[in-house]
Amino acid sequence: MINALLWVPLAFGFVGLFLPKRVVGWWATAGAAATLVIGVIMAFGFDNGAAGLQDTVHTSWISGLGVDYSLGLDGLNLFLVLLTALLWLGGIAFAAFREKERPQLFFFLMLAAETGTLGSFLSQDLLLFVLFFDLMLVPFYFLFGAWGIDRTAEGGPTAPRATLKMMIYTLIGSLLMLVGAIATAIISAHGGHLTFSIEAIQQQGLPVGSQRWIFWFFAAAFLVKMPAFLVHGWMPDTYRAAPLSTLVVFSGVLAKVGAYGFLKIVLPLFPQATSQFQTVLLLLALGSILYGSVMAFTQTNLRLIAGYSSVAQLGFITIGIFTLRADGSDGAILQMVNHGLVVGAIFIIIAILVERSGTEDLRAMGGMAMRAPVFAALFLIVTMATLAMPGSANFIGEFYILNGLFQAKIVFAFIAISAVALAAYYALRLYIGTMHNRKPDGVLSREISLRDGIVLAPLVLCILALALYPQLILHRADPSVQQSVAAVTESSESNLAVNE
């Protein structure tokens, strides 16, 4: 089952290469839908109370090197897997309605990227994780470069150049992570049997000295992927170059792999280093929140507003994880899913807005709500969720995170809380700037088409459903989160005991 979940997208994509242009979009949509169905079936079979892995697959892959093909579901990745499957379905369906050059290749790459992303969520072997983490980026290189938009007219880079920048930035991190992963396995083996199994490495443990530098190798990979403040340099150019239907999944899911990596790998494997560098990471995350928010309400390009708001939101999620408390991390998991849904919907909305107005500039837009009440309503729900309106699941996520932060580091909490107000400003600015005000000439106010509505409505429904019942995620994630966090708290307590 779990094998099917992982490989179905790639298989559909491969077959799609040989199909005629007209049907390949539908074929790809069917592939993404099939993946989602498998994911949902697995979610129903998921044992809620358990902390350990479920639906595991474990076979030796490269025996000489200690690498295993080992997959599994737990409370940490279950909903991220579902989010991945859902957003990919949305992104692919949205693209399937539109004309494309070389559609076979486009959809093959999209589906290959889905397999890569699912692989990094499902991997229970450290090296397999690193492999999928790198692999999921490769299709996006081609998607952004070959189907992207050149910005030379605005003084920006061409699409291949922007994409190259993204590749180099993100691979700096992941290549160092490869070295870090290998070092982790070798050091923890203590000359014995070499294994990359995350569980086994956690049991064997690492000396604190090694943890310190390996921690940063991993953190570099995850922070760049998010992107976090100071390593976000690739983000603006890439977001401007990328086709919007790919940004739905790129912004919605790939950023979360970084946050997930902290919870899945960094906390359990490098507990002492984590508690040592907690403050540094909190500072970085706070930087992300403030910088992302400020940039989001000064930008005029719709993509960049959404992009910088993601930086801020990912900052929030990082803070939740590095409270090193169960409530903060629970909130982080919930918020990862929330933000994925919200930002996925936002990019679909932006794509529709851009089609109606022919521009991406907020200043040249407005008045679009006039003849489009349904579209406006859907957009408004998404906006309210983005600014974490009480009643939305985002509110609950942020509440958990801030609650954890107040218990952990109260000073940071006071600064972070201001970000909630900033989020309200940039989210409402986006909504008002496009939907309200006077309608400039050339901007079309038209109701959302049925086809786009079918893509957007399920995402909005999921946002609403989570708002009503966030426990759906919290209950299932909590046991696994407790485990990850306990690794850190136990080790820091034992540290204190040694020091005393």
Partner 1 sequence: MSGAGFAAPHVDYAATAPIIALTVGLVVILMSGVFETTKRWAPGLAVMTLAATAGLLLWHWNDQIDLIAGALRVDNLAISISLIAIVSAFSTILLSIRERAAEEAGQGEYYALLIGSVLGMVLLSEAENLVTFFVAIETLSIPLYILCATNLRREGSLESGLKYLIVGSLGSATLLYGMAFIYGGTGSTDFAGIAHGIQANGMLHDPLILIGIALAAVGLAFKTSIAPFHQWTPDVYQGAPTPITNFMAVATKAAAFAVFVRFFVVALGPETGDWQLGLAILAAISIVVGNVGAIGQDSLKRLLGYSGVAQAGYMLGGIVVASEKGLSSLVFYLAAYLFMNLAAFAVIVARERETPYGDDIRGVRGLMAERPSLAWPLTISMLALAGLPATAGFIGKLYLIEALVEGSYTWLAVFIAVGTMISLAYYLRVVAAMWMGGEETAAGTSAAPGATPVISGASPEADPVDPEAGRRWYLLAPAVIAAGITVFLGVIPQPLVDFATHAGSSLF
* Residues in contact with partner 1 by the rule CB under 8 A: 61-65, 67, 102, 127, 131-132, 134-135, 138, 141-142, 145-146, 158-161, 163-164, 167-168, 171-172, 175-176, 178-179, 182-183, 186, 194
Q: Measured between alpha carbons, how far is 45 from 39 in angstroms, rounded to an integer? A: 10
User: C-beta of 234: minimal distance to partner 1 in Å?
Assistant: 13
User: C-beta of 92: minimal distance to partner 1 in Å?
Assistant: 20
189, with CB counted inside 10 A (0-12, 13-18, 19+), is middle
CB–CB of 85/34 below 8 Å?
no
Considering beta carbons, is residue 104 or 335 the nearer one to partner 1? 104
Tell the residue number behind the tokens 């020091």, with chain if given: 499
Apex 331 CA angle, 330 and 335, nearest 5: 120
| 261's tokens | 């990596």
Considering beta carbons, is residue 183 or 472 the nearer one to partner 1? 183
User: C-beta of 142: minimal distance to partner 1 in Å?
Assistant: 6
The values of phi and psi at residue 230, to 5°, are: 85, -25
Q: Which helix (H) or strand (E) holds 321?
A: helix 302-322
Q: Measured between alpha carbons, how far is 136 from 85 in angstroms, rounded to an integer? A: 14
User: C-beta of 364: minimal distance to partner 1 in Å?
Assistant: 29
Considering beta carbons, is residue 177 or 249 the nearer one to partner 1? 177
| 210's tokens | 């090694």
Considering beta carbons, is residue 65 or 230 the nearer one to partner 1? 65
Considering beta carbons, is residue 159 or 305 the nearer one to partner 1? 159
Nearest Cα neighbor of 402 from 340, 331, 342, 334 is: 331
CB–CB of 394/386 below 8 Å?
yes
User: C-beta of 201: minimal distance to partner 1 in Å?
Assistant: 14
Considering beta carbons, is residue 186 or 464 the nearer one to partner 1? 186
CB–CB of 106/100 below 8 Å?
yes
User: C-beta of 340: minimal distance to partner 1 in Å?
Assistant: 24
CB–CB of 295/318 below 8 Å?
no
Considering beta carbons, is residue 66 or 397 the nearer one to partner 1? 66
Neighbours of 334 (CB within 10 A): 28
3-state secondary structure at position 390: strand
CB–CB of 115/159 below 8 Å?
no
Q: Measured between alpha carbons, how far is 185 from 194 in angstroms, rounded to an integer? A: 7
On the question of a cis peptide bond just before residue 227, with omega within 30 degrees of 0, the verdict is: yes
User: C-beta of 250: minimal distance to partner 1 in Å?
Assistant: 18
| 3's tokens | 């094998």
Considering beta carbons, is residue 138 or 464 the nearer one to partner 1? 138
User: C-beta of 179: minimal distance to partner 1 in Å?
Assistant: 5
Considering beta carbons, is residue 135 or 457 the nearer one to partner 1? 135
User: C-beta of 434: minimal distance to partner 1 in Å?
Assistant: 31
Considering beta carbons, is residue 160 or 367 the nearer one to partner 1? 160
Considering beta carbons, is residue 105 or 376 the nearer one to partner 1? 105
3-state secondary structure at position 239: helix
Nearest Cα neighbor of 458 from 36, 101, 151, 5 is: 36
User: C-beta of 118: minimal distance to partner 1 in Å?
Assistant: 15
User: C-beta of 12: minimal distance to partner 1 in Å?
Assistant: 17
DSSP lists the bridge partners of residue 62 as 67
* Alpha carbon 108 to its chain's center: 21
